[in-house]
Amino acid sequence: MFLRSHQSTDDFTAVVAKKYGRVMSYLHWKGVNKVCKNECRFPQCPNSLKPIQHFMKIAQEHDERDPVVSYWARLYALQQGLKLKTNQPDETAFLMAIMDWLETLKKSTDNEAISNEVAAQAHIDNYALKLFLYADKQDREMNYGKNVVKAFYSCGVLYDILQTFGELTEEAANNRKYAKWKAAYIHNCLKNGETPVPGPMVDEEGEGDNEAAGENPEADHESPEQPTTENISPPSAEDVLNDPDKLPSPPQEDESPSDFKPFIPEVKPELKPFTTPVPLENLKLTDEQMTKAQKYCKYAGNSLNYDDVKAAVEYLQKALNLLTTGTDE
């Protein structure tokens, strides 16, 4: 699947295709943990592929607790690496190691969220949203520390990975932008010994300004240090972006998103234009619209698997609106 956009270019692709068709021995699920835990040994990442280190690090952090995230994070890293490679031997060795790992894991499990893109998208989307709500709650309660920075940062990277399945929804794109900005902003405040302002940054006109923290909200973050009397300048966005090893550890079990009731920021309801339903006997849906409605229903089912009733209702409402009006709002 991950070779579909790189099928006819060079010798490297030919080798990948040959290896991808290789018969692998069967591994039961217990063996998946062994694959994730003991066989995640990759060559050193070449400098030319440094932009994919963010995704490799997220994958490593989830090897034991969520193989689904590990799989799709490394798959996205591979896809991006194929676009960046310059056919150097160290690049080939690194990308082949990722490909071997993906191949082995996929053949060792029947997890639907690894084999099915619709299930995978729902899984990662739900996880990213839980991280976002957790981090937002901590931010608004002014519980600042490396875990809230890490949660915002990881959320942004997960939304990057979601692009594997196509263009992000407007909500996901907004969450991605806000999470990356907030991670960089809180990190720099803590680095300077300043107290972050909770919630969106408000300008003089009272409107949110998500770009106030810097030009590049995709920066990585190191563990906040205790403030000193020295005048410490925050690292530049470019410096922290290029050093994923500075990332703090992920939240511990007692600080995981599941320990908190999801926080949904209060928003004023918006008046949406009324769409006159088209009589069903006159409504003709395209194949693309039918497929999209089916996906919404599938997403709703997967959301219920994670006890996310709100998301399930929203997906079903989207499906119903599409089926009755022919529009996707």
Domain boundaries, the chain: 40-115, 125-192, 287-325
DSSP state of 234: P
Over residues 170-188, the pLDDT tens digits come to 999 999 999 999 999 999 9
pLDDT value at 101 more than 80: yes
What pLDDT score was predicted for residue 73?
96
What pLDDT score was predicted for residue 100?
93
pLDDT band with cut points at 50, 70 and 90 for residue 281: low
Residue carrying the six token digits 């270019």: 9
The DSSP bridge partners found for residue 202 are: 208
Residue scoring higher pLDDT (88 or 150) = 150
Provide the CB-side half-sphere exposure for 27 (13 A, CA). Answer: 18
DSSP state of 65: T
- Give the sign of the dihedral formed by CA 137, CA 139, CA 142, CA 145: positive
Assign residue 142 a region (left: φ > 0; alpha: ψ between -120 and 50; beta: otherwise): left
Closest C-alpha among 160, 153, 157, 162 to residue 134: 153
Q: How far is residue 286's CA from residue 321's CA, in Å, rounded to a whole number?
A: 15
Q: Which two tokens stand for residue 237?
A: 């966005």
Q: How far is residue 199's CA from residue 12's CA, in Å, rounded to a whole number?
A: 47
3-state secondary structure of 292: helix
What pLDDT score was predicted for residue 239?
42
The CATH superfamily of 125-192 is: Vacuolar protein sorting-associated protein vta1 (1.25.40.270)
Q: How far is residue 199's CA from residue 29's CA, in Å, rounded to a whole number?
A: 42
Q: How far is residue 272's CA from residue 268's CA, in Å, rounded to a whole number?
A: 12
Classify domain 287-325 by CATH number.
Answer: 1.20.5
The CATH superfamily of 40-115 is: Vacuolar protein sorting-associated protein vta1 (1.25.40.270)
Q: How far is residue 44's CA from residue 236's CA, in Å, rounded to a whole number?
A: 25
Q: Tell me whether domains 40-115 and 287-325 share a fold.
A: no
What pLDDT score was predicted for residue 165?
95
Helix axes 146-162, 53-61, angle to 10 degrees: 110
Q: How far is residue 119's CA from residue 113's CA, in Å, rounded to a whole number?
A: 5
Q: Which two tokens stand for residue 53?
A: 């280190």
Q: What is the four-CA torsion angle of 60, 65, 70, 71, rounded to 10 degrees? A: 140
What pLDDT score was predicted for residue 32?
46
Over residues 198-254, the pLDDT tens digits come to 998 765 344 444 443 433 434 444 333 333 323 333 333 344 344 444 444 444 333
What pLDDT score was predicted for residue 285?
80
What pLDDT score was predicted for residue 284?
79
Task: Please state the pTM of the whole predicted model.
Answer: 0.56
